[in-house]
């Protein structure tokens, strides 16, 4: 029985204080006009809001909406096999789950969204996570846990039907391809023409291989020891990069974007067919350690350095919609640019993957699902802060497409002036020299901007201006490491999906141990994202500007699928009363994604609509004219082709998701009309024998036997 | 003493999160049967991972 409401004076006082801190933070953020405010206020507003949301809203969802039941055995307990299923300490599982959901996404989106000022982004990240993102993660986790850890696709098939299930599956695969291409593009843009970055990131390969062999043959299973050695080598590689940069060997690591594309595609293929122990597993350890370490460092850095935000709270691009970083007005485009950190559909795949098979007690979905997502949101807030501490002039000089900025610091300075901001050519040169890069002009993709911001914050705390270059490349390395891990893990997951789908048509290809099948499907997956990567990198109008909206819409569409499935399951299980908990975010998300998608397809404005731009350039080709961005006729044809492909992909995404939504609506209506509840795929109740109330020292918790 | 306790907690956490502690748990779960050596166990684990890919988000 849930306890009756009690008001203990101590608890009331504590939560009043937390509310007050959050309110002061919000007040300072909202009321600052015409003066620069400290980033600390943003941090306080965020933390205060998270604390209240976690304490009250997530508890409400757990108790009322989901009715979690700790007397019910979780799949980890019922099906324990010591391999896939075993009850795991909640703190450990929190770490696992957080490491699986957080990557480069929450770091990139907020940086790009800083184009509209720090205020809209901050509000969306915090409100979005509380009412949409964390809710989605927690409820999907719960539903999957009640179904023995089934995936989102399987749940869609069982609870909604074959058509919706198939559409969801194809949608997930297509979205994954775009996601991998965009993330790989962020790496390419960060490493192109930078010997330091290229050297230190390519050194992660031999380091990971060394760790893999060390773990397999010298010290089997000693992961902590191996990871410590790996991280030390990684830091050496960053220092080594600085040395390479200033030596005669620099030219060997000065790679063009096209070269990097081929390296990444080759890497993606080999990494996904090589044994897991050789590359993927050690990389995963490295990236987890770096992730936790750097995020902690960033939080401490922001609090100690307390930088002031140089960006405007709300820029004019929010209303005009003609910002250089991404086109379109605040609604809907801000909400698709910041996906990870506020609402990310991809998390539904992680929440219905390994995590639900490891939960000890049902009530822990709150800490693991809701709590991990709040933490990711905090990472996004810090990324937004890092981008907002830069001079706006520098921000636009780094993030506008090359076509707008022109080739030199002088043209870039002029272009930034036309946007309404100022930065002198000398300042641009100095900024690049401070982080020991050739140039910072047109370094789109978010990673370099974040790295400059992080270097600014870290150097203020540790090492001063002399350490800026080190911190910059540390940040680049940290992001590239995440992304490369996502690229090889994602290629593998994509391969399995493809094998699964193609296996229905031709049996042998579905066999997971048949080598030629593995090679063919890996090559297909790598080829697919490689195509979009190459098209993006060579896009004369700037690949990030073209492809990032596609990625954001795709990710949010996946969230629509997840929220539609969860809403349907809630209604099917007779909880219409609480269906608004996922129904409201679903309605919002559908409004955002379908408006954005519609504009991307049908807008007459060539800066927004794929087909409008296509028509404009196609017309110019007929007239034999060159339009801005293109230096020759080949460029013109590339632009026409890319926009056609992007527009078609966009339409396919929308149709797939629409299929799922219609199917869900039909099931909901059927459930409401049925006199009896419709059958559910939930596993039957089994009483739990795990007792967590007995006091136990931490050492004795699951798996802690020494 | 407090520092030692914190260090022990940290070590416990690091071993748990990396999966280093899984081997002991596996051995404890299968008492009486011949247990695999550490190397054999890790090979078994990596074979398993080969066919069970984990999704990672962005």
pLDDT tens track for A512-548? 888 999 999 999 999 999 999 999 999 988 889 889 9
- Dump pLDDT digits (tens) for A141-175: 999 999 999 999 999 999 999 998 899 888 889 98
The label of the residue with tokens 């990710």 reads A555
How far apart are alpha carbons A305 and A287 in whole angstroms?
26
CA-nearest residue of chain A to B49? A276
State the Cα angle at A163 between A564 and A75, rounded to 5°. Answer: 60
How far apart are alpha carbons B27 and A706 in whole angstroms?
11
Residues 348-367 of A with CB under 8 A from B: 349-350, 353-354
**Band of residue B1 on the pLDDT scale cut at 50, 70, 90:** confident
- To the nearest whole Å, the CA of B18 is away from the closest chain A CA by 6
- Dump pLDDT digits (tens) for B7-37: 999 999 999 998 899 888 888 877 777 888 9
User: Which residues lie below 8 Å from residue A341, measured CB to CB, with a gap of 6+?
Assistant: A105, A106, A109, A110, A125, A128, A129, A133, A376, A377, A379, A380, A381, A383
The pLDDT assigned to A700 comes to 41
Residues of chain B neighbouring A111 (CB-CB closer than 8 A): none
CA-nearest residue of chain B to A217? B39
Complex ipTM above 0.85? yes
- Dump pLDDT digits (tens) for A538-589: 998 888 988 999 999 999 999 999 999 999 999 999 999 999 999 999 999 9
The pLDDT assigned to A699 comes to 43
Task: Judge whether A465 and A459 are in contact, CB under 8 Å.
Answer: yes
Q: Of A212, A218, A223, which to mutate for an interface test with B (greatest number of B Cβ within 10 Å)?
A: A223
The pLDDT assigned to B53 comes to 83
Neighbours of A433 (CB within 10 A): 14
Residues of chain B neighbouring A277 (CB-CB closer than 8 A): 42, 46
Tell me the C-alpha to C-alpha distance, in Å, between residue A501 and each of A166, A387, A497, A505, A537: 10, 41, 6, 8, 30
Nearest CA to A448 out of A462, A460, A434 is that of: A434
Alpha-helix runs per DSSP H in A400-467 = 402-405, 409-419, 425-434, 447-461
- Dump pLDDT digits (tens) for A416-436: 999 999 999 999 999 999 999
Residue A6 pLDDT greater than 80, yes or no:
no
Residue A129 pLDDT greater than 90, yes or no:
yes
Whether chain B has a CB inside 8 Å of the CB on A214: the answer is no
CA-nearest residue of chain A to B47? A276
Global pTM reads: 0.94
- To the nearest whole Å, the CA of B32 is away from the closest chain A CA by 16
Counting residues of chain A whose pLDDT is more than 90, the rounded percentage is 83
Contact B54 A354 (CB under 8 A): yes
| Span A15-34, average pLDDT | 89
What distance separates the 2 farthest-apart alpha carbons in chain A?
A: 80
Q: Give the three-class secondary structure for A407.
A: coil
- Dump pLDDT digits (tens) for A633-670: 999 999 999 999 999 999 999 999 999 999 999 999 99
Average pLDDT, chain A: 92
Task: Judge whether A387 and A101 are in contact, CB under 8 Å.
Answer: no
Residues 583-642 of A with CB under 8 A from B: none
Task: Judge whether A276 and A435 are in contact, CB under 8 Å.
Answer: no
How far apart are alpha carbons A540 and A550 in whole angstroms?
17
Nearest CA to A452 out of A430, A484, A426 is that of: A430
Residue A68 pLDDT greater than 50, yes or no:
yes
Contact A220 B57 (CB under 8 A): no
Q: Give the three-class secondary structure for A687.
A: strand
Contact A179 B39 (CB under 8 A): no
Q: What are the φ/ψ torsions at residue A464 (nearest 5 degrees)?
A: 70, -170
Whether chain B has a CB inside 8 Å of the CB on A74: the answer is no
| Span A376-402, average pLDDT | 95
| Span A595-599, average pLDDT | 97
Residue A4 pLDDT greater than 60, yes or no:
no
Residue A702 pLDDT greater than 60, yes or no:
no
CB pairs under 8 A between A and B: 126
C-alpha torsion angle, residues A523, A525, A529, A534 (rounded to 10): 10
User: Which residues lie below 8 Å from residue A300, measured CB to CB, with a gap of 6+?
Assistant: A461
Task: Judge whether A479 and A487 are in contact, CB under 8 Å.
Answer: no
Task: Judge whether A169 and A497 are in contact, CB under 8 Å.
Answer: yes
Residue A696 pLDDT greater than 70, yes or no:
no
Alpha-helix runs per DSSP H in A214-368 = 223-245, 257-273, 280-305, 317-320, 330-337, 346-351, 365
Residue A690 has what DSSP assignment? -
Contact B57 A222 (CB under 8 A): no
Alpha-helix runs per DSSP H in A504-542 = 507-510, 515-537
The pLDDT assigned to B25 comes to 85
Task: Judge whether A306 and A312 are in contact, CB under 8 Å.
Answer: no
């Amino acid at each position: 029985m849930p306890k009756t409401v009690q008001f203990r004076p101590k608890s009331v006082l504590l939560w009043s204080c937390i509310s007050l801190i959050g309110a002061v933070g919000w007040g300072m953020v909202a009321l600052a006009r015409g003066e620069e405010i400290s980033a600390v206020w943003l941090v306080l507003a965020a933390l205060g809001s998270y604390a209240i949301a976690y304490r009250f809203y997530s508890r409400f969802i757990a108790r009322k909406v989901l009715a979690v039941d700790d007397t019910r055995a979780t799949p980890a307990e019922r099906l324990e096999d010591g391999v896939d299923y075993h009850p795991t300490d909640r703190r450990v599982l929190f770490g696992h789950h957080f490491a699986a959901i957080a990557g480069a996404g929450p770091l990139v989106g907020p940086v790009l969204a800083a184009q509209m000022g720090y205020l809209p982004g901050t509000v969306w990240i915090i409100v979005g996570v509380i009412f949409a993102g964390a809710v989605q993660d927690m409820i999907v986790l719960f539903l999957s846990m009640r179904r023995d850890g089934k995936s989102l696709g399987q749940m869609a098939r069982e609870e909604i039907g074959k058509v919706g299930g198939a559409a969801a599956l194809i949608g997930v695969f297509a979205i994954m391809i775009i996601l991998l291409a965009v993330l790989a593009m962020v790496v390419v843009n960060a490493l192109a023409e930078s010997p330091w970055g290229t050297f230190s990131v390519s050194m992660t390969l031999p380091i990971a291989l060394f760790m893999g062999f060390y773990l397999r043959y010298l010290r089997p299973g000693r992961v902590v020891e191996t990871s410590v050695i790996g991280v030390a080598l990684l830091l050496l590689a960053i220092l080594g990069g600085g040395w390479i940069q200033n030596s005669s060997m620099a030219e060997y690591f000065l790679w063009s974007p096209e070269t990097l594309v081929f390296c990444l595609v080759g890497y993606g293929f080999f990494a996904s067919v090589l044994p897991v122990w050789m590359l993927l597993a050690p990389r995963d350890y490295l990236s987890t350690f770096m992730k936790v370490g750097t995020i902690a460092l960033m939080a401490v850095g922001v609090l100690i350095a307390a930088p002031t935000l140089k960006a405007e709270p709300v820029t004019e691009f929010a209303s005009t919609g003609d910002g250089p970083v991404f086109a379109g007005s605040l609604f809907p485009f801000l909400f698709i640019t910041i996906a990870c950190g506020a609402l990310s559909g991809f998390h539904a795949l992680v929440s219905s993957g390994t995590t639900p098979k490891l939960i000890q007690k049902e009530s822990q979905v709150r800490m693991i699902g809701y709590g991990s997502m709040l933490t990711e949101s905090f990472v996004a807030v810090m990324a937004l802060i890092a981008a907002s501490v830069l001079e706006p002039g520098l921000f636009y000089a780094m993030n506008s497409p090359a076509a707008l900025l022109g080739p030199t610091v002088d043209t870039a300075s002029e272009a930034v002036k036309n946007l309404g901001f100022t930065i002198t050519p000398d300042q641009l040169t100095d900024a690049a020299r401070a982080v020991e890069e050739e140039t910072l002009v047109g370094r789109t993709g978010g990673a370099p901007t974040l790295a400059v911001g992080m270097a600014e914050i870290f150097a203020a705390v540790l090492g001063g201006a002399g350490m800026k270059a080190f911190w910059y490349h540390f940040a680049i390395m940290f992001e590239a490491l995440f992304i490369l891990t996502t690229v090889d893990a994602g290629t593998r997951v994509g391969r399995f999906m493809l094998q699964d789908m193609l296996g229905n048509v031709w049996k042998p290809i579905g066999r997971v141990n048949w080598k030629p099948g593995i090679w063919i499907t890996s090559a297909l997956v790598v080829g697919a994202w490689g195509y979009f990567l190459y098209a993006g990198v060579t896009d004369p109008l700037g690949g990030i500007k073209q492809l990032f909206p596609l990625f954001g819409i795709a990710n949010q569409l996946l969230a629509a699928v997840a929220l539609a499935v969860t809403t349907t399951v809630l209604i099917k299980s007779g909880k219409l009363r609480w269906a608004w908990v996922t129904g409201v975010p679903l309605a919002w998300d559908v409004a955002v994604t379908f408006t954005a998608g519609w504009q991307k397809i049908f807008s007459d404005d060539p800066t927004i609509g794929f087909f409008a731009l296509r028509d404009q350039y196609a017309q110019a080709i007929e007239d034999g004219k060159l339009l801005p961005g293109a230096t020759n006729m080949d460029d013109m044809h590339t632009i026409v082709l890319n926009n056609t492909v992007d527009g078609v992909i966009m339409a396919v995404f929308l149709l797939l998701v629409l299929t799922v939504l219609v199917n869900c609506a039909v099931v909901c209506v059927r459930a409401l009309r049925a006199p009896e509840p419709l059958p559910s795929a939930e596993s039957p109740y089994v009483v739990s024998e795990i007792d967590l109330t007995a006091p136990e020292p931490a050492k004795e918790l699951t798996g802690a036997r020494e | 003493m407090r520092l030692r306790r914190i260090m022990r907690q940290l070590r416990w956490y690091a071993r748990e999160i990396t999966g280093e502690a899984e081997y002991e748990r596996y051995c404890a779960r299968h008492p009486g049967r011949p247990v695999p050596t550490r190397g054999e166990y890790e090979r078994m684990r990596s074979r398993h991972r080969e066919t069970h890919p984990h999704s990672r988000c962005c």
